[in-house]
Amino acid sequence: MSATAMRRTVLAASAVSLALLVTACGGGEQSGEDKEAAKGGTKSEKPAAKTLTAAELEKLVVAKGDVEGHQITKPGKADVFAPGSVSVEKAECDAVGQVLSALPAGKPAATVQRLVVQESAASKKGMPSAEELAEMTEKEAEEATLDSLDITKTMTSLWSYDADGAEQTLTTLREAGKKCAGGFAMTLDGEKQQVTKVTEEKVAAGEDAVAWTVGTKQDGSAGETKVVVLRQGSTLAGFSSFNIAAVTRGEAFEQPTAVIDAQATKLG
């Protein structure tokens, strides 16, 4: 994955939804609906969750101070892909390609995003100076450089849908992950890359969720992105995470559970 793609595909797609569920009050006396059901009638279906506006999503997306040890900011233009800039070779894999790139699957009514950055202790020391590098062996210089890049970036997105759009979109994502497990070709901002595999992972968040480790290869360089999408009512929350140092070293890195948990808590 190129430097441009790594900066803009944060790291690391997937999504937590917000549900404003209406629950019936308990009591000893049967309600009219319950009496009707006892007589063989049909109880009314649960009211649909409210479709949230962009302003409402802004109040619910993770913010500064919500995740200890993480920096949370609004992403700049260089951090995100524009709608329509991602295309895939196989139509059935489009949903995976979109959330991998921190773009929504389907057609949400409103969206908001935050860039969440977690720096390791080594990365906080920064890149070694030219003088320091000159005194190091080639191996030491390589390791010091990678240490400075040991940063996990997670693009966190909230996508609100009309009616049952969130539920249908998550179903589409789950099916797409299975159909496209063997990989597919995709283009991001004109740069071609190959998704080599889509490996399902376990995640417990929201009312329902999907999670993958997505392997990619571009210009001979391999990488992995952690993608989680969860639903809460009419809203999906997506998380796309990437760590350049871990990928370069061939090391595994975990799902951004602290970010996911914090976002799920705010969505209720």
We report the CATH number of the domain holding residue 31 as 3.40.1000.70
In angstroms, how far is CA 35 from the centroid of its own chain?
Answer: 44
Residue from 229, 232, 226 nearest 265 by CA: 232
Most confident of 100-104, 129-133, 253-257: 100-104
Residue from 159, 162, 166 nearest 113 by CA: 159
Q: Characterize 136-149 residue by residue with b for buried, 16 or more Cβ atoms within 10 angstroms of its Cβ, and e for exposed.
A: eeeeeeeebebbbb
Rounded to an integer, what distance in angstroms lies between the CA atom of residue 183 and that of residue 193?
A: 11
Interval 127-174: pLDDT, tens: 888 888 888 888 888 888 888 888 899 999 999 999 999 999 999 999
Please give the pLDDT value at position 46.
58
Rounded to an integer, what distance in angstroms lies between the CA atom of residue 260 and that of residue 264?
A: 6
Rounded to an integer, what distance in angstroms lies between the CA atom of residue 107 and that of residue 228?
A: 18
Interval 76-96: pLDDT, tens: 999 999 999 999 999 999 999
Interval 183-213: pLDDT, tens: 999 999 899 999 999 999 999 899 999 999 9
3-state DSSP call for residue 203? coil
HSE of 125, CA atoms in CB hemisphere, 13 A:
11
Residue from 5, 13, 83 nearest 259 by CA: 13
Report which of residues 37 and 95 the model is more confident about: 95
Say how many domains are in the chain. Answer: 1
State the average pLDDT for the chain: 83
Strands 110-119, 191-200: pairing is unpaired
Rounded to an integer, what distance in angstroms lies between the CA atom of residue 191 and that of residue 221?
A: 13
Q: Tokens 């063997």 belong to which residue?
A: 182
Q: Where does 46-119 have alpha helices with state H?
A: 54-60, 94-100
Q: Is the pLDDT of residue 22 over 50?
A: no
Rounded to an integer, what distance in angstroms lies between the CA atom of residue 112 and that of residue 60?
A: 10
**Domain with 67 in it:** 3-267
Q: Tokens 């908001």 belong to which residue?
A: 112
Rounded to an integer, what distance in angstroms lies between the CA atom of residue 17 and that of residue 115?
A: 18
Q: What is the pTM of this model?
A: 0.78
Q: Where does the chain have alpha helices with state H?
A: 3-8, 32-38, 54-60, 94-100, 130-134, 138-148, 165-179, 244-249, 257-267
